[in-house]
Structure 1
Amino acid sequence: MSHNAEHAPQPQPAARNPATPQAPRTEPAHAPREPGTSTASPDRTPGPDLIAQGERDKLTRRLQQALNTFVDNPRQAVEEADALFDDVATQFTDTLTERRRVLRTGWQDQDTDAQTEELRIALRQYREITERLLHMSAPAGR
Protein backbone atom coordinates (compact mmCIF):
# COMPACT_ATOMS: atom_id res chain seq x y z
CA MET A 1 0.00 0.00 0.00
CA SER A 2 1.39 3.39 -0.96
CA HIS A 3 1.34 6.31 1.42
CA ASN A 4 -0.91 9.03 0.14
CA ALA A 5 -0.10 12.37 1.76
CA GLU A 6 -3.60 13.70 1.38
CA HIS A 7 -4.96 10.81 3.49
CA ALA A 8 -2.33 11.09 6.22
CA PRO A 9 -3.58 12.42 9.56
CA GLN A 10 -3.12 16.16 9.60
CA PRO A 11 -2.93 18.17 12.82
CA GLN A 12 -5.87 20.44 13.33
CA PRO A 13 -4.83 24.07 13.94
CA ALA A 14 -7.30 24.55 16.78
CA ALA A 15 -6.61 21.18 18.40
CA ARG A 16 -4.31 20.97 21.39
CA ASN A 17 -1.25 18.80 20.80
CA PRO A 18 -1.08 16.48 23.85
CA ALA A 19 2.70 16.16 23.58
CA THR A 20 3.18 19.89 23.98
CA PRO A 21 2.14 21.07 27.44
CA GLN A 22 0.17 24.25 27.41
CA ALA A 23 1.50 27.17 29.40
CA PRO A 24 -0.04 26.90 32.83
CA ARG A 25 -2.01 29.70 34.37
CA THR A 26 0.13 31.10 37.11
CA GLU A 27 -2.79 32.30 39.21
CA PRO A 28 -6.26 30.76 39.08
CA ALA A 29 -9.07 33.24 39.59
CA HIS A 30 -10.29 31.47 42.72
CA ALA A 31 -6.91 30.88 44.40
CA PRO A 32 -6.04 32.98 47.43
CA ARG A 33 -2.97 35.11 47.03
CA GLU A 34 -0.19 35.55 49.47
CA PRO A 35 -0.51 38.79 51.39
CA GLY A 36 1.15 41.62 49.57
CA THR A 37 1.54 39.84 46.24
CA SER A 38 -0.19 40.19 42.92
CA THR A 39 -0.07 38.23 39.70
CA ALA A 40 2.24 40.88 38.22
CA SER A 41 4.69 40.62 41.11
CA PRO A 42 8.28 39.77 40.13
CA ASP A 43 8.19 37.41 43.15
CA ARG A 44 5.66 35.29 41.22
CA THR A 45 7.65 34.16 38.18
CA PRO A 46 6.78 30.78 36.67
CA GLY A 47 9.17 27.94 37.49
CA PRO A 48 11.36 26.21 34.96
CA ASP A 49 9.86 23.98 32.30
CA LEU A 50 8.96 20.43 33.28
CA ILE A 51 10.51 19.38 29.96
CA ALA A 52 13.00 21.67 28.25
CA GLN A 53 11.81 23.34 25.02
CA GLY A 54 14.34 21.53 22.82
CA GLU A 55 13.33 18.16 24.24
CA ARG A 56 9.62 19.02 23.84
CA ASP A 57 10.31 19.84 20.19
CA LYS A 58 11.99 16.44 19.67
CA LEU A 59 9.12 14.62 21.39
CA THR A 60 6.58 16.51 19.31
CA ARG A 61 8.42 15.53 16.12
CA ARG A 62 8.38 11.88 17.24
CA LEU A 63 4.63 12.06 17.81
CA GLN A 64 4.07 13.64 14.41
CA GLN A 65 6.22 10.94 12.79
CA ALA A 66 4.14 8.22 14.49
CA LEU A 67 0.94 9.87 13.27
CA ASN A 68 2.31 10.16 9.74
CA THR A 69 3.31 6.47 9.56
CA PHE A 70 -0.08 5.15 10.65
CA VAL A 71 -1.43 4.67 7.12
CA ASP A 72 1.52 2.54 6.01
CA ASN A 73 2.18 0.72 9.28
CA PRO A 74 -0.51 1.14 11.96
CA ARG A 75 1.10 -1.23 14.48
CA GLN A 76 4.48 0.49 14.26
CA ALA A 77 2.81 3.90 14.65
CA VAL A 78 1.00 2.80 17.81
CA GLU A 79 4.14 1.16 19.20
CA GLU A 80 6.06 4.40 18.67
CA ALA A 81 3.28 6.42 20.32
CA ASP A 82 3.38 4.01 23.28
CA ALA A 83 7.16 4.36 23.61
CA LEU A 84 6.87 8.13 23.32
CA PHE A 85 4.20 8.25 26.02
CA ASP A 86 6.50 6.23 28.30
CA ASP A 87 9.43 8.59 27.60
CA VAL A 88 7.34 11.68 28.39
CA ALA A 89 5.95 10.16 31.60
CA THR A 90 9.47 9.17 32.70
CA GLN A 91 10.82 12.66 32.03
CA PHE A 92 7.99 14.25 34.02
CA THR A 93 8.53 11.83 36.90
CA ASP A 94 12.29 12.38 36.96
CA THR A 95 11.92 16.16 36.84
CA LEU A 96 9.31 16.24 39.59
CA THR A 97 11.33 13.89 41.79
CA GLU A 98 14.37 16.14 41.48
CA ARG A 99 12.32 19.30 42.16
CA ARG A 100 10.87 17.70 45.27
CA ARG A 101 14.34 16.68 46.48
CA VAL A 102 15.68 20.21 46.01
CA LEU A 103 12.65 21.78 47.71
CA ARG A 104 12.85 19.44 50.67
CA THR A 105 16.54 20.05 51.25
CA GLY A 106 15.79 23.76 51.31
CA TRP A 107 13.56 23.55 54.36
CA GLN A 108 13.87 20.10 55.99
CA ASP A 109 17.61 20.07 56.52
CA GLN A 110 17.53 23.32 58.48
CA ASP A 111 17.09 23.77 62.19
CA THR A 112 13.52 23.50 63.41
CA ASP A 113 13.66 27.29 63.61
CA ALA A 114 13.76 27.68 59.81
CA GLN A 115 13.35 31.25 58.76
CA THR A 116 9.80 32.24 57.88
CA GLU A 117 10.95 33.73 54.58
CA GLU A 118 12.58 30.44 53.51
CA LEU A 119 9.41 28.55 54.40
CA ARG A 120 7.28 31.08 52.50
CA ILE A 121 9.43 30.62 49.41
CA ALA A 122 9.22 26.82 49.70
CA LEU A 123 5.44 26.98 50.08
CA ARG A 124 5.15 29.27 47.04
CA GLN A 125 7.23 26.85 44.96
CA TYR A 126 5.13 23.87 46.06
CA ARG A 127 1.98 25.81 45.18
CA GLU A 128 3.31 26.77 41.73
CA ILE A 129 4.28 23.22 40.80
CA THR A 130 1.05 21.75 42.17
CA GLU A 131 -1.07 24.30 40.28
CA ARG A 132 0.78 23.44 37.06
CA LEU A 133 0.12 19.74 37.57
CA LEU A 134 -3.55 20.33 38.40
CA HIS A 135 -3.94 22.52 35.31
CA MET A 136 -2.38 19.78 33.15
CA SER A 137 -4.81 17.24 34.57
CA ALA A 138 -7.87 19.16 33.30
CA PRO A 139 -9.43 18.01 30.00
CA ALA A 140 -8.39 19.98 26.93
CA GLY A 141 -10.40 23.14 26.36
CA ARG A 142 -10.87 24.03 30.01
Structure 2
Amino acid sequence: MMYDQTRAQQPASQPRGGAERRAAGPEPLLAAAERDAIGGRLGHALNTFADTPLEALEEAESAFDEATAQLANALAERRRVLRAGWQDQDPEAQSDELRHALRQYREITQRLLHL
Protein backbone atom coordinates (compact mmCIF):
# COMPACT_ATOMS: atom_id res chain seq x y z
CA MET A 1 0.00 0.00 0.00
CA MET A 2 1.43 3.39 -0.99
CA TYR A 3 1.53 6.37 1.37
CA ASP A 4 -0.81 9.11 0.18
CA GLN A 5 0.86 12.46 0.94
CA THR A 6 -2.14 14.47 -0.21
CA ARG A 7 -4.43 12.73 2.24
CA ALA A 8 -1.88 12.98 5.03
CA GLN A 9 -1.73 16.75 4.60
CA GLN A 10 -5.51 17.27 4.80
CA PRO A 11 -6.87 18.51 8.13
CA ALA A 12 -8.57 15.78 10.15
CA SER A 13 -11.90 17.62 9.98
CA GLN A 14 -11.90 17.69 6.17
CA PRO A 15 -13.72 14.76 4.52
CA ARG A 16 -11.47 12.59 2.39
CA GLY A 17 -11.97 12.69 -1.34
CA GLY A 18 -14.53 15.49 -1.07
CA ALA A 19 -17.22 13.05 0.05
CA GLU A 20 -19.22 13.54 3.19
CA ARG A 21 -18.53 11.22 6.08
CA ARG A 22 -21.03 8.45 6.57
CA ALA A 23 -22.33 6.97 9.76
CA ALA A 24 -20.41 4.00 11.10
CA GLY A 25 -23.17 1.62 10.00
CA PRO A 26 -26.89 1.02 10.06
CA GLU A 27 -28.71 1.97 13.20
CA PRO A 28 -29.28 -0.93 15.59
CA LEU A 29 -32.73 -2.46 15.73
CA LEU A 30 -32.71 -2.40 19.53
CA ALA A 31 -31.72 0.47 21.77
CA ALA A 32 -28.41 0.14 23.60
CA ALA A 33 -30.14 -0.13 26.98
CA GLU A 34 -32.31 -3.02 25.76
CA ARG A 35 -29.30 -4.82 24.26
CA ASP A 36 -27.30 -4.29 27.45
CA ALA A 37 -30.10 -5.58 29.68
CA ILE A 38 -30.57 -8.75 27.63
CA GLY A 39 -26.82 -9.25 27.35
CA GLY A 40 -26.50 -8.84 31.11
CA ARG A 41 -29.12 -11.48 31.74
CA LEU A 42 -27.41 -13.86 29.34
CA GLY A 43 -24.05 -13.17 30.96
CA HIS A 44 -25.53 -13.87 34.38
CA ALA A 45 -26.90 -17.19 33.11
CA LEU A 46 -23.48 -18.15 31.75
CA ASN A 47 -21.75 -17.20 34.99
CA THR A 48 -24.15 -19.15 37.23
CA PHE A 49 -24.37 -22.29 35.11
CA ALA A 50 -21.82 -24.25 37.14
CA ASP A 51 -23.74 -23.70 40.40
CA THR A 52 -27.34 -23.81 39.12
CA PRO A 53 -27.47 -25.22 35.59
CA LEU A 54 -31.26 -25.51 35.25
CA GLU A 55 -31.88 -22.00 36.54
CA ALA A 56 -29.15 -20.70 34.26
CA LEU A 57 -30.76 -22.38 31.25
CA GLU A 58 -34.15 -20.94 32.17
CA GLU A 59 -32.64 -17.47 32.46
CA ALA A 60 -30.85 -17.89 29.11
CA GLU A 61 -34.10 -19.03 27.50
CA SER A 62 -35.92 -16.06 28.97
CA ALA A 63 -33.26 -13.68 27.64
CA PHE A 64 -33.57 -15.31 24.21
CA ASP A 65 -37.36 -14.98 24.30
CA GLU A 66 -37.11 -11.32 25.26
CA ALA A 67 -34.57 -10.64 22.51
CA THR A 68 -36.72 -12.28 19.83
CA ALA A 69 -39.86 -10.49 21.02
CA GLN A 70 -38.12 -7.11 21.02
CA LEU A 71 -36.62 -7.77 17.60
CA ALA A 72 -40.03 -8.76 16.22
CA ASN A 73 -41.54 -5.56 17.61
CA ALA A 74 -38.70 -3.43 16.24
CA LEU A 75 -39.01 -5.03 12.80
CA ALA A 76 -42.78 -4.56 12.77
CA GLU A 77 -42.34 -0.88 13.65
CA ARG A 78 -39.65 -0.46 10.98
CA ARG A 79 -41.99 -2.04 8.43
CA ARG A 80 -44.87 0.22 9.50
CA VAL A 81 -42.74 3.35 9.11
CA LEU A 82 -41.35 2.25 5.76
CA ARG A 83 -44.76 1.38 4.37
CA ALA A 84 -46.28 4.66 5.56
CA GLY A 85 -43.54 6.49 3.67
CA TRP A 86 -44.37 5.05 0.26
CA GLN A 87 -47.87 3.60 0.41
CA ASP A 88 -49.76 6.69 -0.72
CA GLN A 89 -47.08 8.06 -3.07
CA ASP A 90 -47.63 8.63 -6.77
CA PRO A 91 -45.02 6.34 -8.42
CA GLU A 92 -44.32 8.79 -11.24
CA ALA A 93 -43.85 11.92 -9.15
CA GLN A 94 -41.99 10.42 -6.18
CA SER A 95 -39.48 7.98 -7.66
CA ASP A 96 -36.65 9.23 -5.41
CA GLU A 97 -38.66 8.53 -2.26
CA LEU A 98 -39.66 5.12 -3.58
CA ARG A 99 -36.03 4.33 -4.43
CA HIS A 100 -35.00 5.32 -0.90
CA ALA A 101 -37.68 3.03 0.57
CA LEU A 102 -36.48 0.17 -1.63
CA ARG A 103 -32.91 0.68 -0.38
CA GLN A 104 -34.14 0.57 3.20
CA TYR A 105 -36.04 -2.67 2.57
CA ARG A 106 -32.93 -4.13 0.93
CA GLU A 107 -30.70 -3.11 3.85
CA ILE A 108 -32.93 -4.55 6.57
CA THR A 109 -33.62 -7.74 4.64
CA GLN A 110 -29.93 -8.31 3.97
CA ARG A 111 -29.17 -7.75 7.65
CA LEU A 112 -31.78 -10.36 8.56
CA LEU A 113 -30.39 -12.87 6.08
CA HIS A 114 -26.91 -12.49 7.57
CA LEU A 115 -27.90 -13.05 11.18
Structure-1-length-normalised TM-score: 0.61
Task: State the match for 1:102 in structure 2.
Answer: 81
Residue 66 of structure 2 is aligned to residue 54 of structure 1:
no
Residue 59 of structure 2 is aligned to residue 80 of structure 1:
yes
- Give 1:113 shift: 3.9
Structure with the greater alpha carbon radius of gyration: 2
Structure-to-structure mapping, 1:1-142, within 5 angstroms: 46-136=25-115
Give the fraction of aligned pairs with identical amino acids, expressed as a percent. Answer: 56
Are the structure 2 counterparts of residues 119 and 112 from structure 1 closer, same or farther at C-alpha, using a change threshold of 3 Å?
closer
Question: Aligned letter for 1:67?
Answer: L
- Give 1:109 shift: 2.1
Unaligned residue ranges in structure 2 (runs of 5+): 1-18
Question: In angstroms, what is the RMSD of aligned CA positions?
Answer: 2.1
Bigger relative contact order, structure 1 or 2, given CA contacts below 8 A and separation 6+?
Answer: 1
Question: Aligned letter for 1:56?
Answer: R
Are the structure 2 counterparts of residues 112 and 119 from structure 1 closer, same or farther at C-alpha, using a change threshold of 3 Å?
closer
Paired residue total: 97
Structure having the larger proportion of residues in helix: 2
Unaligned residue ranges in structure 1 (runs of 5+): 1-39, 137-142
Between the aligned partners of 1:90 and 1:119, the Cα distance in structure 2 is 29
Structure-2-length-normalised TM-score: 0.74
Question: Aligned letter for 2:83?
Answer: R
Between the aligned partners of 1:114 and 1:91, the Cα distance in structure 2 is 36
Segments of 4+ moved more than 3 angstroms: 40-47, 111-114
Between the aligned partners of 1:42 and 1:101, the Cα distance in structure 2 is 29
